[in-house]
Amino acid sequence: MSLTDKAISRIRELIQLGELPPGAKLPPEQQLAADLGLSRNLTREAVKALVVARVLEIRRGDGTYVTSLEPELLLEGLGAAVELLQGDTVLELTEVRRLFEPVATGLAASRISADELDEVHQHLEAMRAARDDVELLNQHDAAFHRAVIAATGNSTLATLMEGISGRTLRARVWRGLVDDNAASRTLAEHEAIYAALAAGDPALATATALVHVNTTDAWLREHLEHGDAVPAGVVGNA
């Protein structure tokens, strides 16, 4: 571990122990360095790294503060990291989605409110209206799933799912562009998910979501196994 990494760990430890809780202002750099037993340069580098990680924030003319440490803030960089993955790792992403999304959809079925269900229905209606516009259809597709996951009330889960959805969304766009029947199948699968949510049936919601994710996963695997050219940004190479 480098000296900078050790400095980062020391500051993180103060946060984890509650000595620097969310929203707390850090001592001036000289005092913080003395408290940590580190040089000012090391302390400065550690603070910079934690600012990038959204653990700390610098308020110009005021000082450095611990952020809210909310999951949507700390996990914000997940999507950007996912975009850099290369090659067949896109299949690993769909595998992660297959593990998370059906269970999350089942959880949503047990918690969804009338207003949240109405929002999901609105996105479903928008998908129906956009069935001949692949990119617009997929935008509403993403919004549909975002609304479903939000209904779980679990912000950590919602942030994780949002982080892995960028690449799988583009995979669905590509699928729609080359498969004329994709829109009809996609709509049918989403209608089944909505019906399960409306029925408040967690088991059925889990099953319908699993069918939907498996359809995309199977399609993508088949094309990759046949060596089909994949546009840049879908699996990282053309």
Verify that 62 and 111 share a domain, yes or no: no
Verify that 109 and 207 share a domain, yes or no: yes
pLDDT, residue 81, reads: 72
Complete DSSP assignment for 64-83: EEE----HHHHTTTHHHHHH
In a domain, 210, yes or no: yes
Residue 229: both structure tokens together: 């050219």
Query: Is 193 within 8 Å of 208 (Cβ atoms)?
Result: yes
Verify that 103 and 41 share a domain, yes or no: no
Of 24, 47, 69, which closes a domain? 69
Residue type, 223: H
In a domain, 201, yes or no: yes
82: Cα within 13 Å, side-chain hemisphere: 25
In a domain, 193, yes or no: yes
pLDDT, residue 138, reads: 87
Residue type, 186: T
What string of pLDDT tens digits covers the 238 residues of the chain? Answer: 688 898 899 999 999 999 999 999 999 999 999 988 889 999 999 999 999 989 999 999 899 999 999 888 888 777 777 766 666 677 787 788 889 999 999 999 999 999 999 999 999 999 999 988 888 888 899 899 999 999 999 999 998 888 887 666 666 776 776 676 788 888 999 999 999 999 999 999 999 999 998 887 787 777 766 655 544 444 433 2
pLDDT, residue 238, reads: 28
Verify that 47 and 89 share a domain, yes or no: no
pLDDT, residue 168, reads: 67
Verify that 43 and 138 share a domain, yes or no: no
Verify that 164 and 96 share a domain, yes or no: yes
Domain count, the chain: 2
- CA 183 to chain centroid, in Å, comes to 24
Complete DSSP assignment for 35-74: HHT--HHHHHHHHHHHHHTTSEEEETTTEEEE----HHHH
pLDDT, residue 236, reads: 36
pLDDT, residue 233, reads: 45
In a domain, 230, yes or no: no
In a domain, 53, yes or no: yes
pLDDT, residue 219, reads: 77
